[in-house]
A = this chain, B = another copy of it.
Amino acid sequence: MELIKAVYQATDPDRDPQVLAENIAREQSLELTRALIADDIAERMLGRVLDVVALDNNRWRLVIGYPAELASGQSGQLLHLLYGNVSFYQRIRLTDIELPAALLDRLPGPSAGLPGIRAWTGAVNRALLMTVLKPRGSSPEVLAAQALAFARGGGDLIKDDQNLVEDCIDTFRQRVSACAQAVDRAAQETGRRCLYLPHVTGSGEHMSRQLDIVAGLGLGGVVLCTWIMGLETAATAARSRGLMWLSHPAMAGALTEPEQTGVASRVLLGTLARVAGADISIFPGHGGRIQSGRASDESATCRALTEVLGNIKPALPCTGGGKTLEQAPLTARMQGPDCAVLVGGDLIARGSRITADTRAVIAALNDIASS
């Protein structure tokens, strides 16, 4: 039987670690005491303990195997299986996963992914630069001017700030159209396409109309707040219009940041976002305003998004969280060419120098790639 392997870290376990592992295996799969489960069902569907190892005085590594069938080929259900009820256990953190071929073959993965983004932008072999349009409340003209200045400098990707939200669909259309035109205009000047990703929010008909507008403008993708909207909901929304999906990590810090609970960044914002179909996954990296306490997270999340994983395309890791423009080349040196660096406020603060400064950083990223 093909198993989904989940590695949990238990800190100061409240019961014998072997018993705890068996409790988790049952909780997450069939949620019933063994005596009440028919043998054939238990054999086919019950989670099983694969390994229990002491890591140090107070931490244990619990490896549990879940029959692949339990995920039902749905990325939402996979997330649920890995960390649904156990999120209410005390001091249990999901630190690693291994997905079998039988499941990987059923999960969508990115539709465009890293190769698609390289093809769109023409940035074929180097790290990419992304900026953000903000603040909310600005006129479409102000935001379009930001987009134009960055795209003229050869910037690769522009995302709407995740705070840009319109109550009214016409306001959304006006703003997004203005920014799309700015990026188009820059493309005619530079001969390169900058990928502009508007922020789509809400649900139902309201979300649907925004997606129609984005697709109708010929734009390549959208920003979706995955952990607000739902992992699988976001994937399905973008795919329904053939749009690329930039996964924004808002709320996900509740899972990635605690030491003893939650889900490691490389699993949540790496592998799970990727198998669900995120083309780009943003996460806070080193050195910015927001940063994880864990030094290894940036590299590990980059790797999870790009390493070989069945037939699933690589996604583009985007490291952000308030980085400065100077940090872009540093990040590219550290993470290699298969990443994007997000610079927001620091670029906006440059005012009339946005285009020139963007051009200089893109040149630096090119140099790093060819050196």
Is the beta-carbon distance between B232 and A31 smaller than 8 angstroms? no
- Whether, in the assembled complex, A136 has its beta carbon less than 8 Å from a beta carbon of chain B, the answer is yes
Is the beta-carbon distance between A203 and B72 smaller than 8 angstroms? no
In the complex, A135→B41 CA distance in Å? Answer: 9
- Whether, in the assembled complex, A197 has its beta carbon less than 8 Å from a beta carbon of chain B, the answer is no
A232 CB, min distance to chain B CBs, angstroms: 4
Chain B minimum-CB-distance residue to A293? B90
Chain B minimum-CB-distance residue to A234? B230
- Whether, in the assembled complex, A252 has its beta carbon less than 8 Å from a beta carbon of chain B, the answer is yes
Contacts of A161 in B (CB 8 A): 31
Is the beta-carbon distance between A254 and B250 smaller than 8 angstroms? no
Which of A135, A166, A204 has the largest number of chain B CB atoms within 10 A? A135
- Whether, in the assembled complex, A110 has its beta carbon less than 8 Å from a beta carbon of chain B, the answer is no
Within A104-162, which residues are at the interface with B (CB < 8 Å)? 134-138, 161-162
In the complex, A163→B32 CA distance in Å? Answer: 11
Chain B minimum-CB-distance residue to A165? B72
A147 CB, min distance to chain B CBs, angstroms: 16
A30-B134, A290-B89, A293-B90 known; A203-B228 Cβ under 8 A:
no
Within A28-60, which residues are at the interface with B (CB < 8 Å)? 29-33, 35-38, 40-41, 44-45
Copies in the complex: 2
Contacts of A136 in B (CB 8 A): 29-30, 41, 45, 70
Chain B minimum-CB-distance residue to A88? B253
In the complex, A163→B85 CA distance in Å? Answer: 10
Contacts of A202 in B (CB 8 A): 72, 74, 76-77, 232
Partner of A250, one of B85, B138, B206, B249: B85
In the complex, A76→B163 CA distance in Å? Answer: 12
Is the beta-carbon distance between B229 and A36 smaller than 8 angstroms? no
Chain A interface bracket (under 10, 10 to 19, 20 to 34, 35 or more): 35 or more
In the complex, A31→B290 CA distance in Å? Answer: 11
Within A326-371, which residues are at the interface with B (CB < 8 Å)? 344-345, 348-349
Contacts of A85 in B (CB 8 A): 162, 250, 253, 290
Is the beta-carbon distance between A36 and B76 smaller than 8 angstroms? no
Segment touching B, from A256-264, A300-308, A310-318: A256-264
A357 CB, min distance to chain B CBs, angstroms: 15
Is the beta-carbon distance between B261 and A257 smaller than 8 angstroms? yes
Is the beta-carbon distance between A36 and B349 smaller than 8 angstroms? yes
Is the beta-carbon distance between A32 and B290 smaller than 8 angstroms? no
* Interface CB pairs A-B, < 8 A, 22: A30-B137, A32-B344, A33-B349, A36-B348, A41-B135, A41-B136, A74-B165, A74-B206, A76-B228, A77-B165, A83-B254, A84-B225, A85-B290, A87-B251, A87-B253, A87-B257, A88-B284, A88-B290, A203-B235, A204-B236, A230-B230, A254-B262
Residues of A participating in the B interface, judged by any CB pair closer than 8 Å: 27, 29-33, 35-38, 40-41, 44-45, 70, 72-74, 76-77, 79-80, 83-90, 134-138, 161-163, 165-167, 201-204, 206, 225, 228-237, 240, 249-258, 260-263, 284, 289-293, 321, 344-345, 348-349
Across chains A and B, which 3 residue pairs bring their CB atoms closest together, nearest first? Answer: A230-B230, A87-B253, A88-B253
